[in-house]
Amino acid sequence: MTKAKTFGGGIHPRYNKERTLNLPIVDAVVPKELVFPLSQHIGAPCQPLVKVGERVLKGQKIADSDAPISAPIHSSVSGQVVAIEKRPHCSGQDTMAIVVSNDGLDEEAVPASTGTSIENVPADEIVRIVREAGIVGMGGAGFPTHYKMVPPAGTKVEMVVLNGAECEPYLTADYRLMMEESEQVVLGLRLLMKALGADKGCIGVEEDKSEAIAALKQAREAFPDIEVIPLQVKYPQGSEFMLIRAITGKELPVGRLPAELGVIVNNVATAVAVANAVTTGKPLVERVVTVSGSMVERPQNLRVRLGTPVGALLEQCGLKGQPGKVIKGGPMMGVTLANLDVPVIKTTCGLLALSPEEAEPLEISPCIRCGRCVDVCPMRLQPVFIAQFVERGMLEQAEAYNATDCRECGCCSYICPARRPLVQNIRLAKSAILAKRRK
Amino acid sequence: MEQSKLRMSSSPHQHARENTSRIMLEVLMALVPAATLAVFFFGLRALGLMLVAVVAAVATEALLQKLSGRPVTIRDYSAAVTGLLVAFGVPAGLPLWIVAIGAAIAIAIGKQVFGGLGNNPFNPALVGRAVLLASWPAQMTTWVAPFTFLTSATPLGGGARPAYSTLFLGAVPGSLGETSALALLVGGLYLIWRGIIDWRIPVGFVGTVAVFSAVFGGDPLFHVLAGSLLLGAFFMATDPVTSPMTSWGRLIMGVGCGLITAIIRLWGGYPEGVTYAILIMNAFTPLIDRYVRPVRFGAARK
Q: What is the model's pLDDT at position B152? A: 84
Please calculate the CA angle B123-B127-B132 and round it to the nearest 5 degrees.
150
Digit-coded pLDDT (tens) for A316-369: 999 999 999 999 999 999 999 999 999 999 999 999 999 999 999 999 999 999
Cβ of B8 within 8 Å of Cβ of A256? The answer is: no
Instruction: Measure the CA–CA gap between A229 and A6, rounded to whole angstroms.
Output: 10
- Mutate one of B7, B25, B117 to test the A interface: name it (highest A CB count within 10 A): B7
Q: What is the CA radius of gyration of chain A?
A: 21
Bigger pLDDT: B144 vs A302: A302
Cβ of B6 within 8 Å of Cβ of A325? The answer is: yes
Instruction: Measure the CA–CA gap between B24 and B196, rounded to whole angstroms.
Output: 9
Q: Judge whether A63 and A100 are in contact, CB under 8 Å.
A: no
The mean per-residue pLDDT over the stretch A45-61 comes to 95
Q: What is the model's pLDDT at position B87? A: 97
| CB-CB neighbors (< 8 A) of A384 in chain B | 245
Least Cα separation, residue B294 to chain A (angstroms): 6
Element (H, E) at A133: none
**Residue A95 pLDDT > 70, yes or no?**
yes
Instruction: Measure the CA–CA gap between B277 and B166, rounded to whole angstroms.
Output: 26
| CB-CB neighbors (< 8 A) of B299 in chain A | 251, 253
Catalogue all structural domains in chain A, each as residue range(s) with its CATH number.
Answer: 113-280 (3.40.50.11540), 372-438 (no CATH)
> Who among B11, B16, B298 is closest to A335 (CB)?
B11
Q: What is the model's pLDDT at position A1? A: 46
Instruction: Measure the CA–CA gap between A418 and B3, rounded to whole angstroms.
Output: 30
| CB-CB neighbors (< 8 A) of B300 in chain A | 251
Nearest chain A alpha carbon to B8 = A336
Q: Which residues 182-211 of B are in CB contact (within 8 Å) with A?
A: 198
Cβ of B1 within 8 Å of Cβ of A322? The answer is: yes
Cβ of A380 within 8 Å of Cβ of B294? The answer is: yes
> Who among B6, B13, B20 is closest to A365 (CB)?
B20
Residues in chain B: 302
Q: What is the model's pLDDT at position B162? A: 87
The mean per-residue pLDDT over the stretch A380-408 comes to 94
| CB-CB neighbors (< 8 A) of A322 in chain B | 1-2, 5
Task: Work out the number of other CB atoms within 10 angstroms of the CB of residue B148.
Answer: 9
Cβ of A424 within 8 Å of Cβ of B10? The answer is: yes
Residue B24, φ and ψ in degrees, nearest 5: -65, -35
Instruction: Measure the CA–CA gap between B103 and B97, rounded to whole angstroms.
Output: 10
- Mutate one of A243, A370, A409 to test the B interface: name it (highest B CB count within 10 A): A370
> Who among A251, A369, A370 is closest to B297 (CB)?
A251
> Who among A14, A336, A423 is closest to B8 (CB)?
A336
Nearest chain A alpha carbon to B240 = A370
Cβ of B7 within 8 Å of Cβ of A13? The answer is: no
Nearest-10 crossing angle of helices A422-438, A383-391: 70
> Who among A325, A366, A379 is closest to B297 (CB)?
A379
Q: Which of A386, A377, A378 is nearest to A428 (CA)?
A: A386
Catalogue all structural domains in chain B, each as residue range(s) with its CATH number.
Answer: 20-291 (1.10.3430)
Element (H, E) at A230: strand A226-231
Q: Which of A91, A108, A88, A107 is nearest to A99 (CA)?
A: A88
| CB-CB neighbors (< 8 A) of A358 in chain B | 13
Cβ of A370 within 8 Å of Cβ of B240? The answer is: yes
Element (H, E) at A11: none
| CB-CB neighbors (< 8 A) of A324 in chain B | 5-7
Q: What is the model's pLDDT at position A4? A: 86
Q: What is the model's pLDDT at position B302? A: 42
Q: Which residues 233-252 of B are in CB contact (within 8 Å) with A?
A: 240-247, 250
Q: What is the dihedral of CA A321, A325, A329, A334, to 10 degrees?
A: -170
Per-residue pLDDT of chain B (302 residues; tens, 9 = 90+): 778 889 999 999 999 999 999 999 999 999 999 999 999 999 999 999 999 999 999 999 999 999 999 999 999 999 999 999 999 999 999 999 999 999 999 999 999 999 999 999 999 999 999 999 999 999 998 888 898 888 888 888 877 788 899 999 998 999 999 999 999 999 999 999 999 999 999 999 999 999 999 999 888 999 999 889 999 999 999 999 999 999 999 999 999 999 999 999 999 888 889 999 999 999 999 999 999 999 999 886 44
Task: Work out the number of other CB atoms within 10 angstroms of the CB of residue B177.
Answer: 30
